[in-house]
Each structure stands twice: as C-alpha cells, then as structure tokens.
Amino acid sequence: MDTIRDRVVLLTGASRGMGRVFAVAFARAGADLVLVARDAAGLESCAAEVRALGRVAHVLPADLGDTASLAGVAARAIQIAGRIDVVVHNAGIEPFIRFEEIAPATLEQVVAVNFTAPAVLTHALVPHMLARGSGHVVFLGSTSSLFAAPYAALYGATKSAVSGLSRSLSAEFSGRGVGFSVIQPGFVVGTGMFADVVAGKGLTPPAAIGSTTSDAVVAATIDAILRDRPDVIVNSVPVGGGAGLARMLPGVGMAFMRKAVAPFMAKLADASKR
C-alpha cells in the first residue's frame, strides 16, 4: 500500500488508550476511520477528535467477545464506510494474574477478544479486500509471544496465536494484493493497558526487558502497512536475538525468565488486584 491518505481504516479497541492514539495518528495521516469498541460514549469522544482533524469517523459499537456477531460487524462496517482498506486489530485484554486465579469466564473472554475476534473479523473482511485487489490487516501482538510470560500466561498464549496467524496469512496471500503484519511491542509506557496497571505504583520494566512508547508503536504500524512488513518488534531492547537464543538454548532462556522477569511480573499481578 503506497499511502494511508484517503484510506478507510477499521480500528478495534478505539474508545480509549492506544486505540485513541492510533485513531488520531491515522486521521493526521489523512485516513478516515471506522471505530469499533463496546463503549459507545468513548467511541463518540474519539470520533470527535478524528473529525476535528478534518477526517470522517464512523462509530460502530460492538462487543468483540460476542464472536457470533462479528461477521455482521464486518458487513456493517463496509456498509457505513463504503469500503475497508486497512484493519488494525488493537483491542485486547491483558490480565496480569496468577494462572490458578483466572476465572473460567475470564479465560474464555481473553481468548475470544485477543484471538478469536481478530481471526473472525479478518476472515469476514478478506474477501472484500481480495475483490478490490488491495488491503492490509494489522494484528497487535506482543513481545510476550517471543518468550514465556509468567503471570500473563493467557495473554502471552493468545498473542502467540495471533502472531502465528498473521505470519501464516502473510505467506498464504503473498502476491494477491492483501498484506498482513504483526506488530510486537514490549511494555508500552505512558498509555494503554500496562500503563493503567502501573499508574502511581512506581513500577517500571526491568532494563533487561525494555519498553516502548505509543508513538513508536504507531509509527511502526504505519511503516508496516506502507512497506508490507510481516513482523515488527517495537522495543527499546533488541529482544529478537534473545528470543532466537532462547529457542536454541531453552534452559538458558527459562532461567533468564525465572530470575530476571518473573519477579517483576509477580509485582504486576499483585498491582492488578489493587
């Protein structure tokens, strides 16, 4: 895709946090948006920011956990906007919690929102993109998919699934006009789910793990769309090589996670309860 300007972007999780950052950035780049989330009031507020920048914003309240409704959400998005050029699967649930404390309903909701919803929405929208001969789908993954994720096992597992789906689709649809990218940020400081948990608690990611910013994630996402980059890690520490080493030497990788990462993640799990 050669430009974002005058494209229509369907953005999930658009009512708050990173979703609003994405919406404003796409609007500033000249895109129109279809904003999807459960919070109708939050969506209207986000839409007002987009419209203030001179772009079109359609509000589409939807519960992404209700996967049976998502084909209808895709059809409605096409109907109200006329077309969908780009999809950004930003919505997600990031529970920092001890695995044995996860309620069954929470487990089902995290899987539905983090993995099933992006998969179902993509399945519903890809035929539309193929028919037009152009389109791009972005999945928001996480560096937690590259390593073990203690106290965030369910989140890490769903992001691993999302990453695998995106890579497979990128290979399968090569040369057909539709691109796929997975953006894998580290801890996003300042805005978003991680920032909400640590706000006012004095918790910062260990230097060995690194972090990133919302602006860096947005910039990497737009670059991935324009350059059809299939897999992008966004982090202050170059963790890609470490992930490869951990696969070759799993004992070393697990020792690092237990000693350098697990104590911090345990503090996050405790902070999430407060």
User: 46 lies in a domain?
Assistant: yes
CB 196 within 8 A of CB 133: no
User: 249 lies in a domain?
Assistant: yes
Which residue numbers are catalytic? 155
User: 2 lies in a domain?
Assistant: no
Q: pLDDT at residue 239 above 80?
A: no
CATH of the domain at 204: 3.40.50.720
Per-residue confidence (pLDDT) for residue 159, from 0 to 100: 95
Per-residue confidence (pLDDT) for residue 253, from 0 to 100: 74
User: 112 lies in a domain?
Assistant: yes
User: 212 lies in a domain?
Assistant: yes
User: 156 lies in a domain?
Assistant: yes
User: 35 lies in a domain?
Assistant: yes
**pLDDT digit string, tens, across residues 111-151:** 999 999 999 999 999 999 999 999 999 999 998 888 878 89
Per-residue confidence (pLDDT) for residue 217, from 0 to 100: 96
Report CA-CA distances (Å) from 260 to 50, 77, 242.
41, 44, 13
String of b and e for 23-34 (b: at least 16 CB within 10 Å)? bbbbbebebbbb
Per-residue confidence (pLDDT) for residue 246, from 0 to 100: 62
How many structural domains is the chain composed of? 1
Domain of residue 62, residue span? 8-272
User: 3 lies in a domain?
Assistant: no
Average confidence (pLDDT) over 79-101: 94
Measured between its terminal Cα atoms, the distance across the chain in Å is 44
Burial of 98 (0-12, 13-18, 19+ CB in 10 A): middle
Q: pLDDT at residue 274 above 70?
A: no
Nearest one of 4, 18, 58, 7 to 34, comparing CA atoms: 58
Per-residue confidence (pLDDT) for residue 244, from 0 to 100: 64
DSSP per-residue codes, 213-233: EHHHHHHHHHHHHHHT-SEEE
Chain centroid to CA 77: how far? 19
Per-residue confidence (pLDDT) for residue 242, from 0 to 100: 65
Q: pLDDT at residue 68 above 70?
A: yes
Query: What's the pLDDT band for 207 if we cut at 50, 70, 90?
Result: confident
